[in-house]
Structure 1
Amino acid sequence: MAKNLTKYIIISLILGIVIGLGMNLFTPDLFGTVDKYVFAPLGDIFLRLIQMMVVPIVFISIVLGTANIGDPKKLGRIGGKTIGFFLLSTAVAISIAMALAFIVKPGEPGLLDKSAEGFESEEAPSVVDTLVNIIPTNPIDAMTSGEMLQIIFFAIFIGFGLTMLAKKTDKIYHLFEQANELVMYLIMIVMYTAPFGAFGLIASAVGGAGMDAIASMAAYFFVVLAALFIHAIITYGSVIKFVAKKSPWWFFKNFSPAMSVAFGTASSGATLPVSMKTAQERLGVRKSVSSFVQPLGATINMDGTAIMQGVATVFIAQVYAVDLSFTQILTVLMIAILASIGTAGVPGVGLIMLAMVLEQVGLPVEAIGLILGVDRLLDMTRTAVNITGDATCALFISETEKDLEEKDPSIRD
């Protein structure tokens, strides 16, 4: 499914650019009518399907991700090291991404100057208010209004309770597992509509802006790629070299089979069996470490997705000529780090998280159309980076916890 979807989205991207640009150049009057009744509705339907899944996938995935951490007393140093590594790595990833985006300015040409005329960004709350408002007074109200930081906090709180109560809450835990299966299935259905959404959104964007659209999408594409490679080589390479005391070249060479599968499937979850086997057999990671770190990483460690969110947010802000305040930048950092826990390892979920980030900093969700066409290609690359980060963490823990005994990796025994 993943390979076919990639092919169809690429075809849709090409068709959208060709048709949109062609109408912009040769039949600009006709474009307005076609955009209103064809391109825009196709894009809007896809965006609505994405937004419909935001709250369920964030809440359910984060509850399970937190519950799967297990009993802190049992996990001890390994649990702390793993979570610490993932959160720090995600913070570094999005910092690299936003810094690169601010330096390169991929959105400077302004793709949607006409659309931006009526857009006014709302003033962001102060840092103190942002931190205090993370705690919801009414979790149900937070869900209905889409207050993602509050939803994330409540989900972590529920997940922690499930962890501490263990077998007493097994039925609730299994209910969340079944809900997660349902949500993942629905996400896959939504992604089947992606080629149509890609076509409509890209044709509308390119047709409305002409050649400038292609130039800025190319700039965005290469900025995200550059940030992904910098993070993989510099950040992960440094951990492998100076903490795990291994050769980065040896690591990437031996882990390349799993990276290839991740690139082809664009799914951390689908790649997990290959990723674990490769880490254990070719990198020498102990099974007990691999069995805990890598499945957890497939749920809560999404550095590649955080990089996309960082670059895309800055890119869209530049397109709309909005200067992000320090508070807004901090909000993006916080959401990306926390939302990495709730970003499921299936194709396309990064777009759902991006919609959440844009809403929280007052940028229009429909601007996702600017990056949707190239996102599928980037999704494949960032998935490879995601699983590489999981394996890096597993190797780091395996090499620094030499006295660890082999134990049953089950976390709810």
Structure 2
Amino acid sequence: MKKLALHWKIIIGMLLGVIWALLSSSMGWSAFTINWIDPFGTIFINLLKLIAVPLVLFSIIGGVANIGDPSTLGRMGGKTLGIYLLTTVMAISLGLLLVNTFQPGKLIDEQSRIDNRISYEIWANSEGYQIKDGVNYLQDPKFFQRAQEISDLSKSELREAAVSDKLESVKKQKETTPLQPLVDIVPSNFFHSLSNNGLMLQIIFFAVFFGVCLLFVPADKAKPVLNLVDGINEVFLKMVDIVMQAAPFFVFALLAGVVSKMAGDDIGKVVEIFKGLGWYSLTVLIGLLLMIFVVYPIILKVFVKKIPYKGFFKAMSPAQTLAFSTSSSAATLPVTMECVEQNLGVNKKISSFVLPIGATVNMDGTSMYQAIAVIFLAQMHMIDLTLGQQVTVVLTATLASIGSAAVPSAGLVMLIIVLDSVGLNPAWIAIIFPVDRILDMFRTVVNVTGDATVCSIIADGENMLDYEDAKNPTETFDLDS
């Protein structure tokens, strides 16, 4: 087992968690699973939440500040960031279009979704979150009995929770102005934002603002700060690494607990959960493949006419293959740079600037997956997010992508941020965990392909692209390294 790669250990942990959940449901052991196994899954979620906020904060500051001297790199840096953000918004918008069209979360049977909805409302009330769509099943007497079966609350406590939520909704509605979402992004007290759930946009705003200001501080003053930020960021990345080493055990507990909570002692509900996951995976996969084979080639054709469709994929195939096998944009970066320089003819001055930024801020595949995952999980729990709330998803996923570490499964940490931003339960990441690894491999291919596309556009705009049809693209990379 020691020689087994971590992702295989995680997959084994997921499979054992599912097997245990099936066994637990069929044998009537759900109470034991929830009381004695599920808490370790909660610890895993808490550890990820502990790391998520500072990781995003310091990653974004470092990513923005590492653009370089604004006097020499401002124009190219602005163009690079602008195109990266544009492709990210396009990816998220495509994801929202697909998930709202196919609605994979609504393909689960209605009773399971009602149970999910009741669990969500109980969680929201206990955690102080507002019910997102204004509908409250706990107010309906016909759901009281089922709500009591799902939770330990009495009928009076359930009724009181439902009423208090409504009163809170009315109070917040009265205080809202048309520009309130914009006001909410700018914090009045940064430390208050750090210590409160649902204020991640304020933290991201502060991080971007801080990083931009570092660009305008004299280099001798900014360098120690940037070194400190980079050093702290490395510590948090190491924390992610350590937590992920224990992930196989945590994933087993997480899956066993979540599935047992959702299914109870009814094994048929376990089947429904994984049927929904199949439709979710298909929706994500369609979106990712459209980005790789349709969206990026169209963008490239519009801005860089000299690189043909087949020539681009022929040139980038070694990097795409490595990205698929490692699920890491950072690990693939040296190969991506060599493919772009040798096979696409991009000048090294451009590739050495644009691609490292891309590995940090350009996470189109991850952002699309986050948008689809949030809406899918909302659909699963019978939550109808408004257009405004979905725009919040787009904004948060776009900005969170800047701080998404270029390592395997970092998107799960960022998904916690996006779920928090729209007031949904971060523990729901356990529902999509079983299929995350295979989708992560495709997401990384999207990220690397997007990096190469933007790099080619910037190089062509700066007259630093010398493309010749690559007859023998670089293929001398060790995919096991």
Q: Same fold (TM over 0.5)?
A: yes
Task: Give the Å deviation of 1:70.
Answer: 2.2
Q: 1:138-217 residue pairs with structure 2 within 5 A?
A: 138-146=189-197, 147-165=199-217, 166-207=219-260, 208=263, 209-217=269-277
Per mean C-alpha deviation after superposition, the further-off stretch among 115-124 and 286-295 is 115-124
What pairs up with 1:161-310 in 2 under 5 angstroms?
A: 161-165=213-217, 166-207=219-260, 208=263, 209-245=269-305, 246-310=307-371
Tell me how far apart the structure 2 counterparts of residues 154 and 251 of structure 1 sit (CA, whole Å): 38
Deviation at 1:16, TM superposition (A): 2.0
* Aligned amino acid, residue 271 of structure 1: T
State the secondary structure of the residue aligned to 1:261. helix
For the aligned residue pairs, the C-alpha RMSD in angstroms reads 2.0
- Alpha-carbon distance in structure 1 between the residues aligned to 2:119 and 2:19: 28
Tell whether the 8 Å contact from 1:191 to 1:348 is kept in structure 2 after alignment. Answer: no
Letter of the structure 2 residue corresponding to residue 5 of structure 1:
L
Letter in 2 for 1:177: D
| Alignment coverage as a number of residue pairs | 402
Task: Check conservation: 2:350, 2:464, Cα contact below 8 A.
Answer: no
The equivalent of 1:354 in structure 2 is: 415
Equivalent residue number for residue 102 of structure 1: 100
Q: Does 1:382 align with 2:381?
A: no
Separation in 2 of the partners of 1:180 and 1:342? 10
| Unmatched runs of 5 consecutive residues or more in structure 1 | 405-413
Secondary structure of the corresponding residue to residue 53 of structure 1 = helix
TM-aligned CA deviation for residue 113 of structure 1: 3.8
Separation in 2 of the partners of 1:198 and 1:315? 21
- In 2, distance between residues paired with 1:336 and 1:128? 20
Distance in 2 between the 1:21 and 1:372 partners?
17
Q: Deviations over 1:284-338 (max 9, x none)?
A: 1110110000000111110011011111000010011000012211110110111
Does the 8 A contact of 2:63 with 2:357 survive in 1? yes
Which of 282, 290, 313 lines up with 2:374 in the alignment?
Answer: 313
Residues 168/128 of structure 1: CA separation in 2 closer, same or farther (3 Å cut): same
Residues 136 and 344 from structure 1, CA distance in 2 versus in 1: closer, same or farther, beyond 3 angstroms? same
- Aligned counterpart, 2:470: none
1:17 Cα offset (Å) = 2.1
Contact 2:404 2:410 in 1 (8 A): yes
Counterpart pick for 2:392 among 331, 348, 355: 331
Identity of aligned residues (%): 40
Match of 2:55 in 1: 57
2:453 aligns with 392
Letter in 2 for 1:139: F
Query: Following the alignment from structure 2 to structure 1, what is the Cα–Cα distance between the partners of residues 178 and 398?
Result: 16
Residue pair 2:33, 2:257 contacting (<8 A) in 1 also: no
Distance 1:346 1:2 in 2: 20
Task: Give secondary structure in 2 for the equivalent of 1:133.
Answer: helix
1:410 paired residue number: none
Task: Determine helix, strand or coil for the equivalent of 1:258.
Answer: helix
Does the CA contact (< 8 Å) of 2:24 and 2:33 recur in 1? no
More deviation, 288-297/355-364: 355-364
Unaligned 5+ segments in structure 2 are: 122-130, 133-168, 264-268, 466-481
Q: Distance in 2 between matches of 1:169 and 1:236?
A: 36
Decide whether the 8 Å contact of 2:347 with 2:464 is kept in 1.
no
In structure 2, C-alpha distance between the alignment counterparts of 1:362 and 1:76, rounded to whole Å: 36
Correspondence for 1:18: 19
Q: What does residue 185 of structure 2 align with?
A: 134
Task: State the TM-score, normalizing by the size of structure 1.
Answer: 0.92
Task: Assess if the C-alpha contact under 8 Å between 1:17 and 1:203 holds in 2.
Answer: yes
CA-CA distance at 1:357 after TM superposition: 0.9
**Structure 1 residues 10 and 213: alpha-carbon distance in aligned structure 2, compared to 1, 3 A threshold:** same
Find out whether 1:341 has 2:369 as its counterpart: no
What residue is the counterpart of 1:409 in the other structure? none
Contact 2:341 2:347 (8 Å CA) reproduced: yes
Q: Distance in 2 between matches of 1:288 and 1:164?
A: 22
